[in-house]
Chain A
Amino acid sequence: MIKAILVFNNHGKPRLIRFYQYFPEDMQQQIIRETFHLVSKRDDNVCNFLEGGSLIGGSDYKLIYRHYATLYFVFCVDSSESELGILDLIQVFVETLDKCFENVCELDLIFHMDKVHYILQEVVMGGMVLETNMNEIVGQVENQSRLEKSEGGLSGAPARAVSAVKNMNLPEIPRNINIGDINIKVPNLSPFV
């Protein structure tokens, strides 16, 4: 079972959190902080498994993570999951994000947290691995976006127009986005599975 999936950036800002066991919000934030603290002090060339993390889990649980450019993807899993398998699953997840967002970068995750969740829902469900085949995942995600489009989407046309108006008048916006050109490079790792 997967107990939690956390995505945060190099500064510990959460970009996606998904707990499969209930924790109150303040506890969730504490777990993110602790996990970030554990993960961030590790070099890039050490192993991707971490024991400990007192808040979440216990002796049976492990943190398995990958670090891509500005983001950490951390899975907290118990001993029923294969360590290398989960590493590979993270890779699948990130590659799927890459496909769905076309060269995914941190900004995509920031502004489309909901969409990232929907993609994750096709990979992991209730703490169990649902699908590992990337084409299948992408296919289902696209079908659902198509369905959403046919319904007119959430904001619809008028809101989009408004957002265009807002954008044209706000010179400070681009200044804050400029970290976004660092794409998450998805390395072509030889898959384990």
Chain B
Amino acid sequence: MALKMVKGSIDRMFDKNLQDLVRGIRNHKEDEAKYISTCIDEIKQELKQDNIAVKANAVCKLTYLQMLGYDVSWAAFNIIEVMSSSKFTYKRIGYLAASQCFHEGTDVIMLTTNQIRKDLSSPNQYDTGVALTGLSCFVTPDLARDLANDIMTLMSHTKPYIRKKAVLIMYKVFLKYPESLRPAFPRLKEKLEDPDPGVQSAAVNVICELARRNPKNYLSLAPLFFKLMTSSTNNWVLIKIIKLFGALTPLEPRLGKKLIEPLTNLIHSTSAMSLLYECVNTVIAVLISLSSGMPNHSASIQLCVQKLRILIEDSDQNLKYLGLLAMSKILKTHPKSVQSHKDLILQCLDDKDESIRLRALDLLYGMVSKKNLMEIVKKLMIHVDKAEGTTYRDELLTKIIDICSQSNYQYITNFEWYISILVELTRLEGTRHGHLIASQMLDVAIRVKAIRGFAVAQMAMLLDNAHLLAGNTQRNGICEVLYAAAWICGEFSEHLEDPLQTLEAMLRPKVTTLPGHIQAVYVQNAVKLFAAVLTRRETAGEKQAAQETTEMLIEKLPQFVQSADLEVQERASCILQLVKYIQKLQAKEVSVAEEVTALFAGELNPVAPKAQKKVPVPEGLDLDAWINEPPSESESEDEKPKAIFQEDEPKHSRPRLTELDEQELARRREARKQEQANNPFYIKSSPSPQKSYQDTPGVDHIPVVQIDLTVPLKVPGMPISDQYLKLEEERRLKQKQEKKDKKKKKKKEKHGKSRRHDSAHTESEEDIAPAQRVDIVTEEMPENALPSDEDDKDSNDPYKALDIDLDNLVSGGGAYRPLADSEKLPVRTHRPSRTEGLKSPDVDTTAEEQRPKKSKEKDKKKDKERKKSKEEKKKKKRKKSAPTEELEEEEQQHQGEQAEDKISTEDTSEAKEAKTNDVPAAVPTEASDLDFWLATAPVPSKPQQQPLEAVPLSEPESPKESEKDQEESKSSKHKKKKHKKEKEEKKSKKKRHRSENVESEAAVHNGTAEEEEEEPLPPMSNYCLLAENSYIKMVYDIQGNLQDGSQVVVSVIFENNCTDFLKSMEFNVLDSLNTRLVRPSGASVHDGIAVPFQLPPGVSNEARFVFTVQSIVMPQKLKGTLTFIVKTEDGSTHEKLDFKLHFTCTSYLITTPCYSDAFAKLLESEELKVNALKLDSINMPFHHLLAKICFHHHFSVVERIDSCASMYSRSIQGHHVCLLVKSGDNSVSIDAKCNEPSLLSHVLEEIKQTFTTAS
């Protein structure tokens, strides 16, 4: 007792942890909800405390409660608090909670952007990892946009652990922010060849996901994947790649041919079932994509089918399931090879596992033939009886109907049998597919004229026993068949034996419990039956009986007039009036039968389901235009219940005809007959519809009445389909016998056989003559229907946005499209100062990265034109955006330069380079050219594929070729121009490094003082040359680390200058006391850091290195060395390159926005030291000057008034630097304040450097 008290008090002192919560919940089984609600109150208290440990604990418990179904979104802000803790333990809890309960609708999610960014750049890899994992679950379009660039840099992180996570999350980023795909793709592609298998696997994973949605954009990667497939041993990667190939082959048959061999080898060699299975799957896809007429592939099909048979026969149910799944894919194109395994598949129908039975059912669809249809359906009917679950039974039902109705009832030889099957199916309780059966009944009865008599008899029986179907509400689904039954009986009432009986059945009081739309059909068809009854009575001269029928109708119809369903009510009251009128006429001894029948004369033809859609809109008809101006909204139309069968539609107009006089009626009838006679689509009634039915042996002597005596337990009067099976067998036997006889007789005379016999010897199953000569009426389509079978694609597809052409980014020669300005990823750095014209350094690098990848031009003309037009479009687009004028001018300038032959030596060498790139031979990146790669496959000569084959450029003889060449040269000129432009940019960069600013020159050229506001800014880059030799070139940029006051990050872009492969690069610097390179734990100060990638020829990539600095008031230089191995054809050599890293004071500054009032306060404070600088002969526009200071020296503009501006920046150690920039005539004065005079003087010195060298 005492202890309990102690425990209680301690409890209050210390909070419950997760384990206590779980234990508590388990101890309160009876009042769990109550207990949890007190716990949530506790948690709310804990969240109010300042202690982060307590908060984290509370959030952890909330995560558990979330799993139990409690909404914890109210704690979203607290979760963010815990996420931002500096301790990994808490951070991880926060991110876990966030990943469980944040989503796009969570509003506080936007607060996380900076926190996540901070975590992403954390020096602790697990902080980064945990942030990436969390982000992958709740990334929103905003987060994706803001963080895309940070994540992209992480893709080249030194740690594989981070790299692989960063690569994977890119897929989520692409989904939310599709614009990031193009800039990020080159790097993603690079990761396919990452040395770490995990990263490689992640990259494969992402590209496979992308390619699955839009395969055509990734065809160009096929060679690379092919290489991976033949070299990789990781089954997980192999499976993904093989699956990807499965998606690619339909687009490129040549790829399939190339694949077959390695895949077949894999099938033979692998022991892993999963891999085997995927190989088989892809081979199947290949075979489907190839035309089936290829003889040499039958072996592959046999192999697949044989392997699948092994899978299906396996005792492991999983393999059995998958085997059936794959088998169904073969079935579509090679049904014959599957049909030979019918035994196996039928066996699977009896499997105890429902999944397997369902798969086997799918296969049955292709297994049936005229011969075995009845047999298979009989088997399925047995399953239907045995099936316990409704889902499986419903599945069976739809399958039976599918199988029977496939390709226009191709396999049905006896429609009486089919009708009886349908009628038997109506006995199913609680099925959802009543309407399916109903539509089949209607379809068969309308389209197979010979069967109408039988169908009507069956339907009459159904109507008679309607109480069995509609009896209880649970069976509601099945009462749909009454709709069909009533309609068929009414429409084809001439076939009815006793229409009066059916009429009475349809007017029973019980009918009013049926759904409205069925009652409506009942009412309508009751009149048709009435007409039939009248006709019979009058022809028999039984006027009394006819009048009795009329009275009966008048007596029964009012129950429908009272119906709540408008449609029923309307029809009933209309018909009631009609019948009353008939009664009057009858009283006057007028014979009315003919007139009443005339109401329903004419035949209804089946209409194709899409017919309405395909009626072309006549010219000049605007369906959206108002015919009359819309009235005020008071009028509302009564909504009619939706008719489910198209056949019903034309009837709506019929009752109206009653008001027409007889003459008019006759005239119309005549017109209709005329029209029908002229209508080629109208199928005239055959002279004797019953004839074929009569003269087929075996069926005609089944009197319906006889059958209903034999099946007393079932719904009376229903023939059981099994009997047909027996009869059918007999019939076939007879037929065979006859044929044998005939054959014996006619052995010598091969001519003069009946039509059926002509085709008889082709296939044994064709021998079976249908029991009825079936006259299947085709569905009507409107004249000049538009042939647009394609169903509209879903425009809401989220993956559609990712349908981005990446080809010209990756390979492709002259039509290569660099990343446009608009496509750059938003970069955090310098954001406050960036205007549209500024190019971010990252985009520069990506553009640079791709440029050298250009390989020979082998693109097809078509392709080129397409790309060209795109290019032009893009240009047009650019014209609209601000910075274009200048670009254009620049371009012209370059052209002029070229013409005037003022090319510097550097330029010529580059031009040469470009030329060598254009020459088709001697290109090492052969494999990247898809066409070439595919063309090397052994291709059996097929004429239609000829134009697809890549034509080597070295054959300019043919006129076509020369034309193409012209095209080529044009585009190569185009390319050169582009090339030049880029070179120019690069050159400018170099020049800047040599303290010579070209951009400002350009600005001088173009900028006139009047239009300086509108004038766009020249592109700028902070990357400057670190070192260069014939193998490699390094450019670098230094930026402060926001989070850590003692760290700066050096981003180095390595560019391979030579034609050899560079690998094992190691980056090392000689540390000074003040500045040190951050090395992995355990490494000594003399160890270098391995650069996490290799460089194929012409490729560049970026790596980041972290340095710690102690004092930042002085600029510093560090000596360093890059060692690397050059791999040439004959061997490899060790090379090194020395460099000097220059840490300017500017690089310690971080762009920080500042409000003007805060700025004013800052200036007032005494601590700041003053310094000043005057720049002479500056004649660039003032906003250019500001932009340059912002960009190169990491300042932000606080306020600008005319030619005067205040600027602010902060060092990584928190020093404030304030500038006041004033522009006079040709000179600029800068007054500066900072709390660290040494830092300030150095910064000013650097600013001065920037501008003096520039001008």
User: Which A residues lie at the B interface, using CB under 8 A?
Assistant: 1, 14, 16-18, 20, 22, 24-26, 28-29, 42-43, 45-52, 80, 82-85, 87-88, 110-111, 113-114, 117-118, 121, 125-133, 136, 140, 143-144, 147-148, 151-156, 158-159, 162-163, 165-166, 168-169, 172-173, 176, 191-193
- The residue of chain A having its C-beta at the shortest distance from the C-beta of B60 within the complex is A114
Which of B2-10, B658-666, B1146-1154 lies at the interface with chain A?
B2-10
A154 and B67 contact, Cβ closer than 8 Å, known pairs A84-B274, A126-B169, A147-B126: no
Complex contacts, B201 vs chain A, CB 8 Å: 129, 132
A16 and B67 within 8 A (CB): yes
| Given known A47-B318, A47-B321, A85-B239, contact A118–B272 (CB-CB < 8 A) | no
Q: Contacts A17-B67, A113-B63, A143-B126; is A128 near B352 (CB within 8 Å)?
A: no
Q: For residue B208, which residues in chain A have a CB less than 8 angstroms away from its CB?
A: 80
> A41 CB to closest chain B CB, in angstroms?
9
Contact A113 B67 (CB under 8 A): yes
- Chain B residue numbers with a CB within 8 Å of A14 are 67-68
A125 touches B355 (CB 8 A): no
- CB within 8 Å for A193 and B89 given contacts A47-B353, A50-B355, A83-B322: no
29 contacts between A and B (CB under 8 A): A1-B209, A22-B104, A25-B66, A26-B69, A45-B317, A52-B391, A80-B212, A82-B278, A84-B273, A84-B274, A110-B22, A114-B18, A125-B133, A125-B136, A125-B165, A126-B133, A127-B136, A128-B171, A129-B201, A133-B198, A140-B129, A144-B88, A154-B60, A154-B93, A163-B17, A168-B3, A191-B272, A193-B235, A193-B275
Check A148 against B202 for contact (C-beta < 8 Å).
no
Nearest Cβ in chain A — how far from B575, in angstroms? 43
Query: Would you call B22 and A111 a contact (CB within 8 A)?
Result: yes
B70 contacts the other chain (CB 8 A) = yes
- B161 interface hit (Cβ, 8 Å): yes
Please list the residues of chain B having a beta carbon within 8 angstroms of any beta carbon in chain A: 3-4, 6-7, 10-11, 13-15, 17-20, 22-23, 26-27, 53, 56-57, 60, 63-64, 66-71, 87-90, 92-93, 96, 100, 103-105, 124, 126, 129-130, 132-133, 136-137, 139, 161, 164-165, 168-169, 171-172, 198, 201-202, 205-206, 208-209, 212, 235-236, 239-240, 243, 272-275, 277-278, 317-318, 320-322, 352-356, 358, 391
Contact between B169 and A140 (Cβ–Cβ < 8 Å)?
A: no
Residues of B with C-beta under 8 A to A83 = 274, 277, 318, 322
C-alpha spacing A28/B71, complex, angstroms = 11
Complex contact B20–A163 (CB within 8 A) = yes
Report yes or no: A193 in contact with B4, Cβ–Cβ below 8 A.
Answer: no
| Distance of A79 from chain B, by nearest CB (Å) | 8
Instruction: Say yes or no: B274 contacts A85, CB within 8 Å.
Output: yes
The answer to whether A49 and B318 have CB atoms under 8 Å apart is yes
Contact A192 B60 (CB under 8 A): no
List the A residue with the shortest CB-CB distance to B10: A162
Neighbouring A residues of B57 by C-beta, 8 Å: 154-155
Q: Which residues of A contact B19 (CB under 8 A)?
A: 111, 163
Provide the bound-state CA to CA distance between A166 and B275, in Å.
53
A46 near B353 (CB under 8 angstroms)? yes
Across the interface, which residues of B come within 8 angstroms of A159, CB to CB? 14-15, 17
Contact A126 B17 (CB under 8 A): no
Task: Among B64, B88, B236, B320, point to the contact of A132 (Cβ < 8 A).
Answer: B236
Q: Are A28 and B60 in contact, with the CB atoms below 8 A?
A: no
The answer on a CB contact under 8 Å between A192 and B17 is: no
Tell me if B169 and A82 are in contact (CB < 8 A): no
Evaluate contact between A125 and B209: CB separation under 8 angstroms. Answer: no
The list of the 4 closest CB pairs from A to B, nearest first, reads: A126-B136, A84-B274, A47-B317, A22-B103
Nearest A residue to B208 via CB reads A80
When C-beta atoms are compared, the residue in chain B nearest to A89 turns out to be B236
Name the distance in Å between B672's Cβ and chain A's nearest Cβ. Answer: 46
Query: Which B residues are in CB contact (< 8 Å) with A29?
Result: 69
Cβ contact within 8 Å between A129 and B88: no
B154 to chain A, nearest CB (A): 13
B56 touches A172 (CB 8 A): no
A84-B274, A163-B17, A166-B11 given. 17 additional CB < 8 A pairs? A26-B69, A42-B353, A43-B352, A46-B317, A47-B318, A50-B355, A82-B274, A84-B273, A85-B239, A111-B19, A113-B67, A129-B201, A147-B88, A147-B89, A148-B88, A193-B239, A193-B272
Q: Is the CB of A176 within 8 A of B4?
A: no
Nearest chain B CB to A35's CB is how many angstroms away?
A: 14
Cβ contacts under 8 Å, A26 to chain B: 69
What are the residues of chain A within 8 A of B104 when measuring CB–CB?
22
Given contacts A49-B318, A117-B96, A169-B7, contact A128 B14 (CB under 8 A): no
CB distance A125 to B169 under 8 Å? yes
Shortest CB distance A19–B (Å)? 8
A residues within 8 A CB of B10? 162, 165
Contacts of A143 in B (CB 8 A): 126
Q: Say what secondary structure dominates the interface of chain B.
A: helix
**Contact (A49, B321) CB under 8 Å given A82-B243, A165-B10, A166-B20:** yes
Specify which chain B residues have a CB less than 8 angstroms from the CB of A166 in the assembled complex.
7, 11, 20
Q: Which residues of A contact B7 (CB under 8 A)?
A: 165-166, 169
Compute how far the CA of A82 lies from the CA of B14 in the bound complex, rounded to whole angstroms: 48
In the complex, A48→B7 CA distance in Å?
A: 48
B1011 CB → nearest A CB, Å: 49
Chain A residues contacting B171 (CB-CB under 8 Å) are 126, 128
Chain A residues with Cβ below 8 Å from B53 are 154, 156
In Å, the complex CA distance between A183 and B119 comes to: 38
Q: Once the chains bind, are B136 and A87 in contact (CB under 8 Å)?
A: no
Please report the C-alpha to C-alpha distance between residue A118 and residue B130 in the assembled complex, in whole angstroms.
9
A131→B198 contact, CB < 8 A: yes
Distance between Cα atoms of A136 and B164 in the complex (Å)? 13
- Measured between alpha carbons, how far is A111 from B64 in the docked complex, in Å? 10
Closest to A168 in B: B3
Are B273's CB and A192's CB within 8 A? yes
Report Cα–Cα, A172/B29, bound state, in Å: 13
Cα A146 to Cα B239 with chains together (Å): 35
Given A113-B18, A125-B136, A165-B10: A46 in contact with B352 (beta carbons within 8 A): yes
Q: Chain B contacts of A80 at CB under 8 A?
A: 208-209, 212, 243
**A126/B168 in contact, CB under 8 A:** yes
What residues on A are CB-neighbors of B205 within 8 Å?
128-129
Q: How far is it, in angstroms, between the C-alpha of A162 and the C-alpha of B100 when the chains are bound?
A: 29
Inter-subunit contact A128/B206 (CB<8 Å): yes
Cα–Cα distance between A84 and B323 once the two chains are bound (Å):
12
- Say whether A126 contacts B172, CB under 8 Å: yes
Cβ contacts under 8 Å, B103 to chain A: 22
Give which listed residue, A16, A125, A192, contacts B132 with CB less than 8 A.
A125
**A169–B4 contact, CB under 8 A?**
yes
Which of B6, B198, B318 touches A87 (beta carbons < 8 Å)?
B318
Q: Chain A contacts of B67 at CB under 8 A?
A: 14, 16-17, 113
Given the known inter-chain contacts A143-B126, A159-B14, please indicate yes or no for A25 contacting B136, CB distance below 8 A: no
Assembly CA distance A82 to B212 (angstroms): 14
**Are B358 and A51 in contact, with the CB atoms below 8 A?**
yes
Q: Indicate if the CB atoms of B322 and A84 lie closer than 8 Å.
A: yes
Chain A residues positioned under 8 Å from B13 (CB to CB): 162
User: A151 near B88 (CB under 8 angstroms)?
Assistant: yes
List the B side residues contacting A148 at CB < 8 Å.
88-89, 92
Chain B residue contacts of A191, Cβ below 8 A: 272
**Identity of the chain A residue whose Cβ is nearest the Cβ of B139 in the assembled complex:** A126
What chain B residues lie within 8 Å of A168 (beta carbons)? 3
Q: Give CA–CA (A118, B95) in the complex, Å.
A: 11
The smallest C-beta distance from B28 to any residue of chain A, in angstroms, reads 11
On whether A49 and B355 interact (CB within 8 A), knowing A80-B243, A125-B132, A126-B168, the answer reads yes
Bound-complex Cα distance A151 to B15 (A): 20
Report how far A21 CA is from B235 CA in the complex, Å. 27
Give chain B residues whose Cβ lies under 8 Å from the Cβ of A50. 355
- Which A residue's beta carbon lies closest to that of B321? A47
Chain B contacts for A85, CB-based, 8 A = 235-236, 239, 274
Q: Distance (Å) between the CB of B69 and the closest chain A CB?
A: 4
Contacts of A169 in B (CB 8 A): 3-4, 7
Separation of A140 and B160 alpha carbons in the complex (Å): 12
